Structure 1
Amino acid sequence: MTTILVTGGTGTLGRLVAERLRADGHEVRVLSRHAQPYAVDLRKGGAGLDAAVAGVDTIVHCATAPGGGDEEAAAHLIAAARRADVRHLVYISIVGVDRVPLGYYRTKFAVEGLVEESGLGWTVLRATQFHDLPARLFGIVSKAPVMLLPARVKDQPVEVAEVADRLAELALGAPAGRVPDMGGPEVRTLDSLARAYLRATGRRRLVVSVPLWGKAYGGFRSGGHLTPGLAAGKGTFEEYLGRRFGGGQKV
């Protein structure tokens, strides 16, 4: 039996990774800011982090904070992993972090570099956005009578449970370096995804695509965040919406 630490283990992805590893009979420690007995703020490190990592064979690093602090958190985690002689560090990143000049993407790419230079055995998986991200976006913009969306942008959302399965598989294997990216089964325009969301929620809104500007928008418009040749995911956006919303009432 392997002892595995999952950071961000109460989050959308980390919780599923922990469940899969436990189902396979492994001892799983869940680290997050509020999960006892390993309640640790990775951005600060400290004795609690050393206790969480002690005796661990593999770390699956899912913790992230879009508001900032990921590089500091990774540095503290790597230092603790070195002290504990951890065999394998698995990191989940995002497709396009080296191609789309968005601040959060730059941070994820920088963390990839820290992992690669850590001196530990390491594996990095990049995945496209989970289904719940466009769903959250559409939930916000559909509050108005007209849904305004970035023009000429596509997305390739992937089922988070499938990414969790892949991470669990990687955690149980040998360090593999940068593994092939993982994308959802379909590359879709944002307006087609938005209309699917409206059908699922029973809402009627006018969908309007609006040209934007800036380097980050250009990166998304050019498809830097997509991986159509590595569409390993099977679950579609409509299937996700069906599970989440069923039939919606008209609003």
Structure 2
Amino acid sequence: MTAKTAPVLVTGGTGTLGRLVVPLLREAGRTVRVLSRRGGEPAEGIEHVAADLLRGEGLDAALEGVETVLHLAGGPKGDDEATRHLVRAAQRAGVQHVVYISVIGADKLPLGYFKAKLGAEQAVSESGIPWTTLRAAQFHDLALTVVEKMAKLPVVPSPGGLRWQPVDARDVAARLVELALGRPAGLVPDLIGPKVYGLGELSRGYLQARGKHRMLLPVRMPGKVGRSYRAGENLTLEGASVGQRTWEDFLTERVTAA
């Protein structure tokens, strides 16, 4: 089995990002093996395997014959431990390339989620397997979830100094497939959206798209987390790759036309 005929294992292949990555890999002529906790129905060139990354169960079978792993699975906690289980199994299977999606600020923000992402990055880079890691900004999908929830309040909080540069998941998916089909490259330039927004700006854009009116209330984020966000430690302002689709483009597709 050659690198081009070996299946590409995609963890989290049924998630927001995975559902975009899998068809792109198929368009590139690659067979895809999707790992999830529940498995799924096979399709042409796509097989599903059930495994539990957090428990480390079912991974040896999932990785059999695999040379490239696209590790997209993630959750609110435990990503570091799940990734350690994955790379140990990948070592046993003789995997030749692990591609990992992380988040900008993983090495800076004092929050458990970001610390777990950094731990996962370290598990990949210290595994001895050739690797590539891409840090991306928050997806438009996450920004939409946040502003939708806040818009249900009679007054929408607008944390001062909290800025995002949201990126479209389709741009991230295309970049990840490009990296997976290429040679291991280590930590590559971050991927960001075309524009930096305050959270209040994101909320206003959403409200306008929905034809709603809410008062925005400025609030101050306290403590280390607030200082980190005000310092822009979740942003990459220089040297990043930039996605094409803006927040306004996304809103037009997902909200205005809904």
TM-score when normalising by structure 1: 0.95
Is 1:11 the counterpart of 2:11 in the alignment?
no
The question of whether the paired residues in 2 share the 8 Å contact of 1:95 and 1:225 is answered with: yes
> Residue 66 of structure 2 aligns with which residue?
56
1:244 matched to 2:248? The reply is no
**Rounded Cα–Cα distance in structure 2 between residues aligned with 1:151 and 1:134:** 16
Matched residue, 2:53 = 42
**2:18 maps to 1:25:** no
User: In the alignment, is the contact (CA less than 8 A) between 2:80 and 2:118 conserved in 1?
Assistant: no
Number of paired residues? 246
Asked if 1:223 corresponds to 2:232, the answer is yes
Provide the C-alpha distance between the structure 2 equivalents of 1:178 and 1:218, rounded to a whole number of angstroms: 26
- TM-superposed deviation, 1:39: 1.3
Structure 1 unmatched runs, 5+: none
Contact 1:185 1:231 (C-alpha < 8 Å) held by counterparts: no
> Which runs of structure 2 are paired with 1:28-177 in the superposition (5 Å)?
28-36=32-40, 37-46=48-57, 48-66=58-76, 68-177=77-186
Tell which deviates more after alignment, 126-135 or 30-39.
30-39
Tell me which residue corresponds to 1:235.
245
Q: Is the 8 A contact 2:17 2:169 kept in 1?
A: yes
* One-letter amino acid matched to 1:52: A
**Partner amino acid, structure 2, of 1:30:** V
Change in Cα spacing, 1:205 to 1:247, as seen in structure 2 (3 Å) is farther
Amino acid at match of 1:42: L
**Offset at 1:76?**
1.1
Equivalent pair of 2:8/2:30 in contact (CA under 8 Å): yes
Instruction: State the 1:100 CA deviation.
Output: 1.1
2-structure distance, mates of 1:53, 1:247: 41
Unaligned segments of structure 2, at least 5 residues: 41-47
State the 4+ residue runs in structure 1 displaced beyond 2 angstroms.
none
Shift of 1:228: 2.3
In the alignment, the residues of structure 1 paired with residue 150 and residue 133 of structure 2 have an alpha-carbon distance, to the nearest angstrom, of 33
Distance in 1 (CA, whole Å) between partners of 2:114 and 2:129 is 23
Tell me if the contact between 1:96 and 1:224 (Cα under 8 Å) persists in the aligned partners: yes
Once the two structures are TM-superposed, the CA of residue 69 in structure 1 deviates from its matched residue by 1.8
Q: CA deviation at 1:167?
A: 0.3
Out of 4-13 and 130-139, give the one that drifted further. Answer: 130-139
Cα RMSD after superposing both structures = 1.2
User: What is the CA-CA distance between 1:247 and the residue it aligns to?
Assistant: 5.0
Tell me, yes or no, if the aligned pair for 1:70 and 1:108 is still in contact at 8 Å. Answer: yes
Structure 1 Cα separation of the partners of residues 74 and 207 of structure 2? 30
- What is the aligned partner in structure 1 of residue 45 from structure 2? none
d(CA) in 2 for partners of 1:231, 1:167: 12
Percent of counterpart pairs with the same letter?
49
